[in-house]
Amino acid sequence: MKAKIFEIKRFAVHDGDGIRTTVFFKGCPLKCVWCHNPEGIDFKPQLAYYENKCIGCGECVSVCPSGAHNTVESEHLFNRDLCIACGKCTDVCLGNALTFYGKEMTVDELLTILLEDKEFYENSGGGVTLSGGECLMHPDFCTELLKALKERGINTAVDTCGFVSKEALDKVMPYTDIFLYDIKAFDEDVHIKCTGQSNKVILENIKYLDDCGKKIEIRIPYVPMFNDNQIPEIAEFLSNFKNIKKVRVLPYHNYAGSKYAALNLKNTLPEKLPTNDEIVSAEACVRGAGCVSRLRGC
């Protein structure tokens, strides 16, 4: 069994408690306008070309089997239409201008890497987080990996947008210590505008996880002019749950612009950034929703 992985981030401190390693899976059912991991949207492998990093060494030309890379008068030309996303050029690129997103890996291959930092997990109260993209688009792979981690005493977290099947949740639930769950909007029309999909399944699934007694950490991205008016409704909705351990309001940032360019994707990132006062106000709204004792870490 294999899955396409686009990044393994070690010493992560924002993807659950303690020091963690986060595994990012390819493929996502949502198309959020503010997505900061555009390389995780498509299920297929992708080659990113960061033109500003190219030093014109020509190494990619010598190994490309499809002729996608060429040098004309010392200028590197990349024809994306010819690229077969084999990743060979990334292995020889001297300027780190080429990045391959979507390496196929087995559970055993991943497990070997994740276990290298077990001592850090144990000493910090950390563990391993599965993310994406949407990791639960690969439920069988995630289940096998999570089970192997739990058998070795490692804390596990699943970072999900919630737009997944209950069957997927049922498979990973026994081996997941906490779900990091995104709530992007409460109003369905707003959610569709922001992500391209209804939020009905997402809201149903969080109720299901809560009913099953699973620990949940809520993440609310705050994006001015898109979902900033959704905070009161989200806060009221969250006040009805029993197993929410933490709520985090995440200020939107636009750092991912270079990724869109490198992948030749349309940049949908909003221009307006939130102010500190807006975030403080949103956090206060969440805390004031009648569940202060359970809402920590905003």
Q: What is the pLDDT of residues 54-63, one digit of tens each?
A: 999 999 999 9
pLDDT for 289 equals: 64
What is the overall mean pLDDT for the chain? Answer: 94
Q: What is the pLDDT of residue 293?
A: 39
Q: In the predicted model, is pLDDT for residue 291 greater than 80?
A: no
pLDDT in the model for residue 294 = 42
Higher-pLDDT residue of 287 and 45 is: 45
**Distance, CA of 70 to CA of 190 (rounded, Å):** 45
| Coil/strand/helix, residue 25 | strand
pTM: 0.93
How far apart CA 25 and CA 6 sit, in angstroms, is 6
How many other CB atoms are there within 10 angstroms of residue 254's CB atom? 13
Query: pLDDT at position 73, please?
Result: 82
Instruction: Yes or no: say if 294 and 244 are a contact pair by the CB < 8 Å rule.
Output: yes
| 3-state percent helix, strand, coil for the chain, nearest multiple of 5 | 35, 25, 40
CATH of domain 46-101: 3.30.70.20
Please check whether residue 88 is in contact with residue 65, taking contact to mean a CB–CB distance below 8 angstroms. Answer: yes
Measured distance CA(276)–CA(224) in Å, rounded: 12
Strand-strand pairing, 20-25 and 2-12? antiparallel
- Per-residue pLDDT reduced to its tens digit, 215-261: 999 999 999 999 999 999 999 999 989 999 999 999 999 999 999 99
The hierarchical CATH code for the domain 2-43+102-287 is 3.20.20.70
pLDDT digits (tens, 9 = 90+) for 129-157: 999 999 999 999 999 999 999 999 999 99
Label residue 39 by pLDDT band (50, 70, 90): very high
Structure tokens at 26: 């390819």
User: Regarding predicted confidence, which is higher, 289 or 134?
Assistant: 134
Q: Residue 112 pLDDT more than 70?
A: yes
pLDDT of residue 240: 87
Domain boundaries along the sequence of the chain: 2-43+102-287, 46-101
pLDDT of residue 296: 38
More confident residue, 240 or 277: 277
* The predicted structure's pLDDT at residue 287: 86
